[in-house]
Every structure is written in structure tokens, then in C-alpha cells.
Amino acid sequence: MAVRGYTLRAAELAGLLAGLLTSVALLVAGCALVGVAAAGGGGAAVAVVLAAVLVVVVFACCDRLALSAMLARPVGEVEHPELYRLVRELSKDARLPVPRLYLSPADQPNAFAVGRGPRSAAICCTEGLLRVLDEAELRAVLGHELAHVSGYDVLVSSVAAGLAAAITFPASLARFTRSGPADPGSGLRGVEKLLMLVFGPVAAVIVRLAVSREREYRADMAGALLAGDPVALASALRKIDAGTAELALAPDGRRVAVGHLMIACPFRPEGVARLFLSHPPVGERLRRLEALAGYRR
């Protein structure tokens, strides 16, 4: 059974890496085509080199790119001792190093894990999440995020987020060209909206090739077993789903690139954000968790 489990995990990781490599190959090929169109063979060579440098930089900085997109800051144990206690207990049970903890000021309840592996992993919770969940639900959500870390799909998701953030960077940069103050509720406007229409589909292809919906089902199952309470995770998902619907984030260039990292989709399924949808239906996730707990429908 142990050998079979390791074989399945290796096969899943190989599939994830294959999707990521396909995304990288398409990005490099696209850059080469742009280089050819701009300056012939020499332009293609320069474009390929620049694409390779971009991939290396993204691999090294993907965690920081994702955390900065959510304005996250590191949180200390003195500030949130209960959060540290839960993460430390779950990490010990999962035989993982204790990840770095970050806090995002977003009111929307959500959480995500990022990093290149267990030793560099970080977990970010929003302030809204800490407000709406009780201890058992928070423990279950943290177990879900640690399941992403232990399954190593956090590497693929983080690099995909970094590549998508790099591709949509011109749209994010356009935000600073606005002449008036930005209205958080008005969504994308002007130049930023136009650039998202151009670069957004490219970034979405990168994310969709590298990230599968099955990873959330696997993390739900593994996280629920790690926390020891599938019902608590189901309850947390209900609250998070309601919170994301009520307090949906604006899908700007930086946030759409990291939306797939979160435990629930942080955007309304409309406009450019629809292209980045990678989460399975919440109802099906709840059904599977309740079945794991022994409930029948």
C-alpha cells in the first residue's frame, strides 16, 4: 500500500510538472514568434533568452510575487499565537517544516499556500478568514493548505502564478497611469482594461495548463484527514464561499494571476476573471467531504 501511494503521488506530480513545462514551452515559443515578427532570426534568439531569464526569475521570486499581490505581511507568533499553535501542530502531524505565516488585509475570507517546496513554503490567511472561522474550521483550512505543500503541487501553482503575474504586469503598471483616484468597486478601466483583454487570455492559458481542478479535491481530502475533521472543512468552505460571493475581489492584473492559489475563487465569475477559473464547484467539494465523514445523500 505504501509503495502504491508513493507511485500515485509520483504520477500526480509528474502530471503537474508536465502541464507546467507545457506552459513554459508555449511561453518561450510565443516570445520567439514575437521576436521573429519584430526582428527576424536575431530577434527570436533575443526573445528566447529573455523568456528563459523571465522563467528563472519567476521560479526564484514566485512566492514574493503572490504575497505582494495580496499585500500580505509576515505575522509573528506574539501577534497570533493561536494561529501559530495550529500550524505547528498540523506541521508536526504532517512531518513538514513549519511554514512562514503571512496575513493579508483583505476582508474577504480566503487563504493560500505558496512556495517552491516544504522548506520554502508560506501560508497566507486574510483578516476576513480569521474573523469568520472558529478554531476547528481554521484548523481544517490550514490542513488543506499544508496538503498542497506536502503534495508538492504548491510548486507548480506558485510558478504558474508567477508567470501569469509577469505576463499581466503591463496591465498592473497601467493602474499608475490613471489620472483620478481608483474606485475599488468599479473594476478595470481604460488602459488597464484594454491591456488585460490582450494579456489576460495568455496568462489564463498558462494557468489552466499548469493547474487542474483535481488538486483541490486532493487537498480537501488530505487536509480533512490531517485535521481529523472533514465536517469542519466543509463548514469552513460554506463560510468562505459565502464571503467570496459577498466580498469579491476586483480582478486586476496582479490578483487574477494568484486567484487559483486560494482555497476558493476570490472573484465573481464574469469578464476576464472567467478565464482564470480553476476551482471545482463548491457543492461537489462539500459532497465529497461529507461522504468522507460518513454522511449519505
Alpha helices in the chain (DSSP H): 2-69, 81-94, 127-132, 135-150, 153-167, 169-174, 190-210, 214-227, 230-246, 253-258, 282-292
Q: In Å, what is the CA distance from 70 to each residue of 36, 177, 180, 221, 256?
A: 36, 21, 23, 26, 11
**Residue 145 annotated in active site:** yes
**Phi and psi (nearest 5°) for 117?**
165, 180
Q: Is 266 helix (H, G, I), strand (E, B) or coil?
A: coil
Catalytic residue among 137, 145, 192, 216: 145
**Which three three-digit cell numbers place residue 178?**
490613471
Query: Which three-class secondary structure state does DSSP give residue 267?
Result: coil
Dihedral sign of CA atoms 48, 63, 60, 144 in order: negative
| Nearest Cα to Cα of residue 229 among 289, 297, 283 | 289
Contact criterion met (CB below 8 Å) for 237 and 296: no
Backbone angles phi, psi at 124, to 5 degrees: -120, 130
Q: Which residues are tagged catalytic?
A: 145
